[in-house]
Amino acid sequence: MKLQMLGTGSAFAKTFYNNNALVYANGCTLLVDCGITAPAALHALGKTPDDIDALLVTHIHGDHIGGLEEIAFRMRFQYHRKPLLYVPEVLAAPLWENALKGGLYQDELPGLEDYFEIRLMKEGNEYEPIPGLSVEIMQTPHIPNKDSFSLYMNRHLFYSADMRFNSELLHKLVEERGCDTILHDCQFINPGVVHASLDDLLTLPEPIQRRVWLMHYADDQPNFIGKTGLMRFVEQQRLYDESELAEIN
């Protein structure tokens, strides 16, 4: 498996694209989240929506789903196909009713399933959105009463959706589930109310920090290079092999 962040920016970053990821396995491509900047970020990589086999949504915020309208229209009318859309079961109705329906609804296209092959996901199950990639969803705290799901890929790589700091979960993943790679959202200002702050993450013990890659960061990220303990920054649009990410720092 290889991973390439389409973007690594925070919700309002302007010098980085939205924090969305391309995951490649066996010649297929999964797009994890599709924010407002995703179509432009794909274009910057020389790719089109037609290069995507499946999509997965972690939660409903513009930097994670704001590009889905364009992708849906272009898949339907430009490429004439329905990609797979993996969505946590509880998000399927609000994704359509509260987010996408306004733009995508047409008399002959009245639902999300007219644009995507929907695959509902539940916690505790393992899915294979593209061959050779297993994904489990884990509900993690972000905004009160707003569902958000982090991912556990290939039984060793944790990919945080936007989430508040949860030391207990990170300890459990590393100590009980063999997690060797943690891609985590990170904000530089305190307190970390809806994301983990850098200062929160710096409280993690060294063995965990060595596994952490920081993402979803603000435009002033260059000021923090060298100030993240043993944690590394993920660079947007750089292609990483799964094994490279798993190398302990």
Catalytic machinery residues: 69, 105
Which residues make Cβ contacts (< 8 Å) with residue 167, sequence separation at least 6? 203, 204
> Which is nearer to Zn ion, 63 or 242 (by Cβ)?
63
> Which is nearer to Zn ion, 11 or 92 (by Cβ)?
11
> Which is nearer to Zn ion, 29 or 148 (by Cβ)?
148
Q: How far is the CB of 55 from Zn ion (least distance, A)?
A: 16
Determine, following the binding rule CB under 5 A, whether residue 200 of this chain makes contact with Zn ion: no
> Which is nearer to Zn ion, 163 or 174 (by Cβ)?
163
Structure tokens at 198: 């850098």
Q: How far is the CB of 162 from Zn ion (least distance, A)?
A: 3
Burial class from Cβ neighbours inside 10 Å (0-12, 13-18, 19+) for residue 139 reads middle
> Which is nearer to Zn ion, 25 or 234 (by Cβ)?
234
Residue 29 φ/ψ, nearest 5 degrees: -130, 130
In 3D space, the residue among 246, 170, 181 whose CA is nearest the CA of residue 212 turns out to be 181
Is there a contact between 5 and 234 (Cβ–Cβ < 8 Å)? Answer: yes
The label of the residue with tokens 């850098």 reads 198
Stretch that binds Zn ion, among 10-18, 84-92, 127-135, 233-241 (CB under 5 A): 10-18
Determine, following the binding rule CB under 5 A, whether residue 11 of this chain makes contact with Zn ion: yes
Cα 141 to chain centroid, rounded:
15
Determine, following the binding rule CB under 5 A, whether residue 195 of this chain makes contact with Zn ion: no
Residues 123-126: contacts with CB under 8 Å, at least 24 apart? 123/88, 123/149
Q: How far is the CB of 19 from Zn ion (least distance, A)?
A: 6
- Could you say which residues in the range 34-73 bind Zn ion, by CB under 5 A? 61, 63
**Per-residue binding letters, 124-163, with Zn ion (x by CB under 5 A):** --------------------------------------x-
Query: Strands, E, within 33-94: which ranges?
Result: 54-56, 84-88
Q: How far is the CB of 144 from Zn ion (least distance, A)?
A: 13
The sign of the dihedral angle between the CA atoms of 186, 188, 189, 190 is positive
Residue of closest CB approach to Zn ion: 162
Q: How far is the CB of 78 from Zn ion (least distance, A)?
A: 27
> Which residues sit at the interface with Zn ion, rule CB under 5 A?
11, 61, 63, 162
